[in-house]
Amino acid sequence: MSLVKVANAPVSFGVFELSDAPPPLGPDTMVQALAEAGYEGIDSGPIGFLGTGSELADRLAGNGLLLAGGWVDLRYGDAEAYARQLPALEAALDVFAAAPPAPDGFAPRPTLACSGSAERFARPGGSVPGLAAGEWPAYAARVQEATDRCRERGLEPVFHHHLGTYVETPDDVERLLELTDVQLCLDTGHLLLAGGDPVTALRAWAGRVGHVHIKDGDTKILDAALADGVDLRELMGRGGFAPLGEGELDLPGVVRTLAEIGYSGWVVIEQDTLPGRRTVEQNIADQAANRRKLKELGL
């Protein structure tokens, strides 16, 4: 059995929210296209997009796909908002628990992330200060509580650092890892655009990396977006996360380093884009090409 399986995600097709209606393409078309491109799994996208319960299981199993995980936003920096969102976490865990049975090591990984910082969302890339030193303990304690809730349900979560949030820069990630025992979802594109080196980070955090999102990034597009005063959403729309091989990510170096550190688990290819910026046909072709690039490198 392979130590690594490769998935894709609805964000590669501009599907971020169920309120994005109509979606750029439906779930059946998406899972069929990804299966035909050689992917072994898919992230959930917004909870409910791929269905829940038996609908989810049947849709994925019918195309030979596993559920790699899924995004769960919680406002760890606001105690009251965080408490209000906990039922949504439990609902997401219900969905993950109903996924098709997976081989050992490939169960869905709840992907914990924070809902963001308005200031950093407006100026992504690491230039805006994040949490003050005194705010970190409470923030991290809520991340740890969410982590423990996932484990109580038999699921091992990962935390996703992300542009526009309180865990954006390499220093932010270091602080979170210091204060919690949650595993990390290392996202190469978000780290690259936040001033980090994904290859260096994989080596430094090897013992904590439990999930990997591979995406490319283009700092020239980031710099132009910042100069124009547009936010993270528009950065994605402008192609800040490029097709693999068209940005600045050292993709061969990332693949080599995954092997060097003995990583096993899911690798999720993502190419965040906005609805309507690219045709469905372009998105499908991009994700097929992205899969071929990883195959050429041995994944």
State the CB neighbour count (10 A cutoff) for residue 207: 10
- The pLDDT assigned to 22 comes to 65
pLDDT digits 0-9 by tens, 172-186: 999 999 999 999 999
- The pLDDT assigned to 158 comes to 98
pLDDT at residue 1 above 50?
no
pLDDT digits 0-9 by tens, 215-265: 999 999 999 999 999 999 999 999 999 999 999 999 999 999 999 999 999
pLDDT at residue 21 above 50?
yes
pLDDT digits 0-9 by tens, 114-132: 988 999 999 999 999 999 9
Rounded distance, CA 100 to CA 67, Å? 7
Q: Burial of 295 by CB count in 10 Å (0-12 exposed, 13-18 middle, 19+ buried)? A: exposed
- Give strand ranges (E) for 41-128: 41-43, 66-74, 109-114
Q: Which of 128, 130, 213, 211 is nearest to 176 (CA)?
A: 130
Q: Is the pTM of this model over 0.85?
A: yes
pLDDT digits 0-9 by tens, 128-164: 999 999 999 999 999 999 999 999 999 999 999 999 9
Rounded distance, CA 31 to CA 56, Å? 11
pLDDT at residue 82 above 80?
yes
Element holding 212 (H helix, E strand): strand 209-214
- The pLDDT assigned to 277 comes to 86
- The pLDDT assigned to 136 comes to 98
